[in-house]
Amino acid sequence: MNWDDVKYFLAVAREGSISGGAKQLGIQHSTLSRRLRALEKKLGTQLIERKKSGYELTNEGTKLKQTALKMEFELLKVDGNLVGKESRLTGELRVTAINNMASTVLMPMFASFSKKYPDIELHIMVSNMYAKLAEREADIAIRLTNTPLDTLIGKRLVTISSTIYGGKKYIKQLKKDKTNPTWLGVECCGFHQAWTKQACEDRTHSFNSDDTLLTKSALKQDLGLAYLPCFMGDGSEELARYCPPDESLNLGLWLLFHPDLKRNAKVLAFRAHMVHETLLKKNLFEGKIDGK
């Protein structure tokens, strides 16, 4: 079986649609659709069926997905252990990540990597800006974006969904009184600024924050509404969704590094580890409750 064919199928299986898979791979919708049909013809079975709710894997598609995930993980491990000038799994590995992710949902992944490779000195640096990877200020950058820099090698780990959250008491009272909501002013990144600007008609805020973790704390105090990634909002007992996630707000979580490091064993081992670990938390990142 051709790995490229399996890779195309796996992208559709992960994203739940051909358009999402094409976006992840950076190819045309028609190209991916054609490759998927060719794979189904080669295997003699239907892998994906289209329903009103979207695309769903058939029983054979589900089996192939599990096999494909194992194939991908093993290939990444082999790639990460290729012999070369930087093939040793020792020394420093500098990773820059977003604060609200590095200190929460990504920390267990960093910890398990550090335990798995004790000879690697893992350095986690918090930054919402692109580190100068070309100048080796960092080896790897983990970023939220739908347009990663084309000068870097990238792996789209997972989709991050977001929606509007508020304190449970505040939302209950808001819906009961049917009044206009109060919005927190959020300036942690361009995405939240744009979303808040569009949602808040008068664009005035009595409380402002430039950090997502601070925004989450403010929401718990019933100060109003704000956008949060679902992995943050859904994990808090004091918060509730004001509305379901909007697919137009979806962002890709990318692992990026400089082309000069494409054969670096530490970088590739970290990539393989993060691909595996983020997949295990796919529903959390995509804001799916009970798998929906």
What confidence tens digit (pLDDT) does each residue in 15-26 have? 778 887 887 777
Same fold, 91-155+264-279 and 162-249: yes
Structure confidence at residue 83 as a pLDDT band (50, 70, 90): very low
pLDDT tens readout for residues 197-212:
888 877 778 888 888 8
- pTM metric for this prediction: 0.69
Residues 6+ apart with CB under 8 A from 72: 7, 10, 275
Domain ranges of the chain: 3-79, 91-155+264-279, 162-249
Winning range, highest mean pLDDT, from 13-27, 170-184, 237-251 = 237-251
Higher pLDDT, 277 or 199: 277
pLDDT at 86: 55
Contact 229, 161 (CB under 8 A): yes
pLDDT, residue 32, reads 87
| Dihedral over Cα of 114, 117, 123, 126: its sign | negative
Percentage above 70 pLDDT, the chain: 90
Asked whether the predicted pLDDT for residue 77 surpasses 70, the reply is no
Give residue-wise pLDDT tens across range 92-103: 999 999 888 998
The partner residues of 225 in beta bridges, in order of sequence, read 166, 183
Question: Is 90 exceeded by the pLDDT of residue 11?
Answer: no
Mean pLDDT rounded to a whole number for the chain? 85
Nearest alpha carbon to residue 175 among 245, 244, 242, 246: 242
Give the whole-angstrom CA distance, residue 187 versus residue 169: 25
Q: Which amino acid belongs to residue 143?
A: R
In CATH, the number for domain 91-155+264-279 is 3.40.190.10
Q: What percent of the chain has pLDDT over 90?
A: 41
CATH superfamily of 162-249: Periplasmic binding protein-like II (3.40.190.10)
What's domain 3-79's architecture? Answer: Orthogonal Bundle (1.10)
